[in-house]
């Protein structure tokens, strides 16, 4: 009897060690595009996490606070039905290691000494590691190039149709100059994703274009879209007492 309880005690102790080891491990999961939208799981309040992560896909399944880490979206043409301050986004600059530096470290208007005279696709040997096949960029495949999107002299900025700089945090204004239809759909909540308050005038976080699309390989190979399919999650647990969800099949049918 005594022996058993000691064994049980040791077992319980080990279990405690294992679970505490798990609890201390840092959990990172992605919000939309793997490798470009990672968040670290933490408690907003004791027992209230900022996100719940899928153990299956590593994607975020639930947000404890949809506005965590967001900033006002900034001016977006014709986004008028939402009061200012109620349209928010997560700034991209926080996720980009290199771009915020591009304008100061290398391309400060001096280096490279000669700026390209046109936007014709060329190979860029110095950037091969970062962006393979710059000459045949998998976005437009030769029809658009770096300087259609990146500002010529301010390389930490994007560029609009007039050659004026745009913030990296508002990629929708860049994408919208060529994909105007998608930009309008996105603004109105038809394309992409929004989370937050349900009411049309309520506060919402818009996921920005580059949180989902990699601007450099939207047409990667045969996939043509740049999306990697995820395996679907398991269906949600049924409420207590319900054996199956067959009743849903007859819903609304008379
Ligand atoms: C369709 C528009 C578009 C084109 C064309 C384009 N870029 Fe970009 N690039 C972007 C956007 C938008 C971002 C910011 C991405 C984000 O928010 O995740 C970016 C990010 C970058 C970064 C920073 C990556 C980081 O992790 O910090 C570099 C470097 C870069 N681009 C270089 C290039 C080069 C070189 C070319 C040409 C071969 C090019 N880009 C073509 C839109 C474009
Ligand atoms: C300078 C114009 C230009 C800009 C800016 C631009 N694109 Fe594109 N995009 C194109 C062209 C051209 C294609 C190729 C369309 C085709 O082959 O039919 C394309 C293709 C795509 C595709 C592939 C699907 C399709 O329609 O074939 C996606 C997705 C896409 N772009 C998203 C974006 C996103 C997101 C941004 C902003 C980061 C962006 N684009 C900015 C011109 C642009
Ligand atoms: C929440 C993620 C998400 C956001 C945010 C998002 N998109 Fe998309 N986008 C998608 C998905 C998913 C598809 C469908 C891909 C497919 O058909 O394989 C798509 C398709 C597209 C296409 C190709 C559509 C076609 O008809 O072939 C374009 C162009 C595009 N998006 C541009 C944009 C632009 C511009 C923005 C920002 C204003 C944006 N997207 C924001 C997920 C997103």
Task: Please tell me the residue having the least CA distance from ligand 2 atom 10.
Answer: 140
Q: Return the structure tokens found at 16.
A: 């405690």
Task: Please tell me the residue having the least CA distance from ligand 3 atom 27.
Answer: 225
Query: Which residues in 76-114 are b (16+ Cβ under 10 Å) and which e?
Result: beebeebeeebbbbbbbeebbeebeebbeeebeeeeeee
Both 49 and 133 in a single domain?
Answer: no
For the chain, give the mean pLDDT: 85
Both 165 and 210 in a single domain?
Answer: yes
- Please report whether residue 172 resides in a domain: yes
Of 32, 62, 35, 34, nearest in space to 49 by CA = 62
Instruction: Verify whether ligand 1 is closer than 6 Å to residue 178 (CB atom).
Output: no
Boundaries of domain holding 49: 8-64
Instruction: Using the atom order of ligand 3, give the atom closest to the CA of residue 223.
Output: 18
Instruction: Verify whether ligand 2 is closer than 6 Å to residue 219 (CB atom).
Output: yes
- Please report whether residue 82 resides in a domain: yes
Rounded to 5 degrees, what angle do the CA atoms 216, 28, 100 make? 40
pLDDT tens readout for residues 110-155:
777 777 778 888 888 888 888 878 888 889 888 999 999 999 888 8
pLDDT tens readout for residues 182-230:
999 999 999 999 999 999 899 999 999 999 999 998 887 676 665 666 6
* End-of-domain residue from the set 46, 64, 82: 64
Instruction: Verify whether ligand 2 is closer than 6 Å to residue 175 (CB atom).
Output: yes
- Please report whether residue 163 resides in a domain: yes
The Å distance, Cα 207 to ligand 3 centre, comes to 11
Instruction: Verify whether ligand 2 is closer than 6 Å to residue 88 (CB atom).
Output: no
Both 152 and 210 in a single domain?
Answer: yes
Both 39 and 162 in a single domain?
Answer: no
Both 43 and 159 in a single domain?
Answer: no
d(CA 211, CA 183): 14
pLDDT tens readout for residues 18-60:
455 455 678 999 999 988 999 999 999 999 999 999 988 899 9
- Please report whether residue 155 resides in a domain: yes
- pTM (predicted TM-score): 0.87
Both 55 and 83 in a single domain?
Answer: no
Instruction: Indicate the pLDDT class of residue 2, thresholds 50, 70 and 90.
Output: very low
Q: Flag whether pLDDT at 179 surpasses 80.
A: yes
Both 83 and 49 in a single domain?
Answer: no
- Please report whether residue 94 resides in a domain: yes
How many structural domains are present in the chain? 2
Both 86 and 18 in a single domain?
Answer: no
Q: Among 17-21, 75-79, 158-162, name the one with the lowest average pLDDT.
A: 17-21
Instruction: Indicate the pLDDT class of residue 98, thresholds 50, 70 and 90.
Output: confident
Ligand whose nearest atom lies closest to the CA of 223: 3
């Amino acid at each position: 009897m005594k022996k058993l309880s000691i064994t049980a005690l040791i077992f319980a102790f080990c279990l405690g060690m294992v679970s505490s080891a798990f609890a201390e491990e840092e959990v990172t999961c992605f919000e939309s595009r793997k490798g470009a939208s990672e968040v670290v799981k933490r408690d907003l309040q004791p027992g209230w996490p900022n996100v719940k992560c899928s153990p299956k896909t590593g994607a975020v399944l639930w947000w404890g606070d949809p506005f965590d880490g967001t900033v006002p979206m900034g001016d977006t043409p014709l986004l008028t039905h939402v009061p200012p301050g109620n349209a928010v986004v997560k700034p991209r600059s926080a996720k980009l290691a290199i771009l915020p530096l591009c304008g100061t470290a290398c391309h400060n208007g001096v280096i490279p000494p000669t700026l390209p005279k046109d936007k014709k696709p060329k190979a860029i040997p110095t950037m091969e590691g970062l962006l393979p096949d710059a000459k045949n960029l998998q976005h437009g495949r030769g029809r658009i190039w770096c300087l259609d999107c990146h500002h010529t002299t301010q390389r930490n900025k994007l560029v609009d149709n007039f050659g004026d700089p745009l913030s990296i945090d508002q990629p929708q204004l860049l994408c919208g100059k060529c994909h105007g239809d998608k930009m309008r759909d996105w603004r109105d909540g038809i394309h992409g994703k929004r989370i937050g308050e349900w009411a049309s005038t309520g506060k919402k976080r818009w996921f920005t274009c580059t949180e989902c699309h990699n601007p450099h390989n939207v047409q990667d190979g045969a996939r043509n879209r740049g999306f990697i399919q995820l395996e679907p999650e398991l269906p949600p647990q049924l409420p207590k007492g319900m054996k199956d969800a067959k009743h849903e099949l007859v819903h609304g049918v008379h």
